[in-house]
Structure 1
Amino acid sequence: MTLRITLAGSTGWVGKALVAAIAKAEDMTLVAAVARSAAGRDAGEAAGLPALGVTVSATLEEALAVPSDVVIDYTKPEAVKAHTLLALKAGRAVVIGTSGLGADDFAEIESAAAVAGKGVLAAGNFSITATLLKRFALEAARYVPDVEIIDYASAGKSDTPSGTGRELAETLAGVRQQGTAKPVAELGGIPATRGGSVGGPIPVQVHSVRMPSFVLSCEAVFGAPDERLVIRHDAGSSAAPYVAGTLFAARKAVEFTGLKRGLDTLL
């Protein structure tokens, strides 16, 4: 069976790499693409490739007129929730590669996925090595209760924390024990400098750094008396690390119903 893919954000950093990868995949075909800036153009040519015979649509609603199995979304934080709900309503499984969604957003998406009988896979990072960061950090959190996250990205990234940092914090908050740091509510000075509290029941403090020279990096810092453990992932300038994980998720998204968060849930 050939998996029919609708790709939203087809001219973006990861989107262009996905167009090329889907074109080469033997078990997938790109049937529709979305990119407002390239509407009306061939999706292959818009991504710097030979023509694929797929015309780029200006909106996902237009693209969904073409039958498909999975919608992959690499657009913008302000658009991804509406895209996901629209795709589910149209009977598509969804892979979310766009960050910026919160717990309430995911709760709504989970309900919609159940009603639609379709699968949604959302991951803060589709890189295999970033997924290993999460797995190793989860193991460390079972033994070391004091943990904080530092999330690095380029100066132009609009959402904080990154999807990688947010997903990691929410996951760690569900398994960690109470740390020894003074609660933020008891601090003087400028409490905001302690970062944002993410997740529960025991939140994790996340600190976001935004400046030139970073692409995406994330580190979990664990502290114990007289010792410290840092587990860190650094992304390079290429989108290649995210492509294989995204296509893997697209293949799996048609096999389950409901919401799964994190590529590790499929490994």
Structure 2
Amino acid sequence: MTNVCFAGITGWTAAPIVAAIAASDDLTLTAGVSRSAAGQDIATVTSSNAGGSIYGTVAAALRSAPVDVVVDFTSATAVKTNVVTAIEAGIHVVVGSSGLTAADYAEIDRTARDRGVGVIAAGNFSVMAAVLLRAASMAAEHLEHWEVLDYASDQKPDVPSGTSRELAETMGSVHRPGTAIPLPDLHGPVEARGAEVAGTRIHSIRLPGFVVTTEVVFGGSGERLVMRHDPGSTADPYVAGTLLAIRRVADEPGLRRGLASLLYGDPDADR
């Protein structure tokens, strides 16, 4: 049985994942983390039959309950502290929160390897989003030019989204896209060209009505190819991928990025 601590237990993503953990035969929820609900039972707060109590911090949860895996769906401001706290305690981590930088991931990988701890971080735990990432990386092997559109709710403070950042970094590991007009040669504000991540221009759009929609546009002479993942208004798409990550996170030490790493293995092995 794998004991799970869910950080962000009162968040939008938690309810269906908590229910799936409670219904599984090999996972058990032993702790939750939420500053606003600290001291309450998980079952009461989540309206589920999950056991365990809620604590104000990951550190408090790890001191008080048996935990094998910490699942983090918190915020850009809390995620790094939570992840490092778990790793230093020798606990495996599944990271669903966005806001970590490439430098953060490099530090997390080093620390996790030193501690012999596994970490799986994904900008999006939807299987369809993982398929998009895989397809986009395959397309990048043959196409030269692309940009990414990153849509999210107007309440999402971090830009770009973890999904878009992961997509850009994955395609950038294949090769950097061809350059358009260099930024110094533009007429007008350079911000109009979006942010650069691993050579890819990402344009973050924040409007009501979106959750986390990701679109990559490939351009060629006389043609375009558009790939888009457009989730609905519930967190249901993220359940299967999160449970897969919980079950596989202890397989090897260090950081693995993206759900595609579990579905398809090392993308570099195919090239």
TM (normalized to structure 2)? 0.94
CA distance in 1, matches of 2:140, 2:91: 36
CA contact (8 A) 1:152 1:210 kept: yes
Residue identity opposite 1:41 in structure 2: Q
Question: Structure 1 residue runs of 4+, over 4 Å off?
Answer: none
CA contact (8 A) 2:117 2:250 kept: yes
CA distance in 2, matches of 1:242, 1:185: 41
Q: 1:249 to 1:53 in 2, by over 3 A?
A: closer
Counterparts of residues 210-249 of structure 1 (less than 5 Å): 210-249=206-245
CA contact (8 A) 1:97 1:126 kept: yes
Counterparts of residues 46-57 of structure 1 (less than 5 Å): 46-50=45-49, 52-57=50-55
Give the match for residue 61 of structure 2.
63
Give the C-alpha shift of residue 41 in structure 1: 1.1
Give the C-alpha shift of residue 152 in structure 1: 0.2
Q: Secondary structure at the match of 1:250?
A: helix
Q: Does 1:120 align with 2:116?
A: no
Q: 1:166 to 1:178 in 2, by over 3 A?
A: closer
Give the C-alpha shift of residue 178 in structure 1: 4.5
CA contact (8 A) 2:118 2:250 kept: yes
Give the match for residue 158 of structure 1.
157
CA contact (8 A) 1:154 1:215 kept: yes
Judge which range, 207-216 or 14-23, deviates more: 14-23
Q: Secondary structure at the match of 1:174?
A: helix
Residue identity opposite 2:171 in structure 1: L
CA distance in 1, matches of 2:73, 2:176: 35
Q: 1:116 to 1:245 in 2, by over 3 A?
A: same
CA contact (8 A) 1:153 1:215 kept: yes
CA contact (8 A) 2:195 2:202 kept: yes
CA distance in 1, matches of 2:60, 2:176: 48
Residue identity opposite 2:235 in structure 1: A
CA contact (8 A) 2:177 2:200 kept: no
Q: Secondary structure at the match of 1:41?
A: coil
Residue identity opposite 1:3 in structure 2: T
CA contact (8 A) 2:33 2:54 kept: yes
Give the C-alpha shift of residue 180 in structure 1: 4.8
CA distance in 2, matches of 1:19, 1:29: 9
CA contact (8 A) 1:19 1:44 kept: no
Give the match for residue 93 of structure 1.
92
CA distance in 1, matches of 2:177, 2:83: 35
Query: Structure 2: where are the runs of 5+ without partners?
Result: 264-271
CA contact (8 A) 2:145 2:220 kept: yes
Query: Structure 1: where are the runs of 5+ without partners?
Result: none
Q: Give the aligned CA root-mean-square deviation in angstroms.
A: 1.1
CA contact (8 A) 1:142 1:177 kept: no
Residue identity opposite 1:62 in structure 2: A
Q: Secondary structure at the match of 1:21?
A: helix
TM (normalized to structure 1)? 0.95
CA contact (8 A) 1:10 1:18 kept: no
Tell me how many residue pairs correspond in the alignment.
Answer: 262
Q: Does 1:3 align with 2:13?
A: no
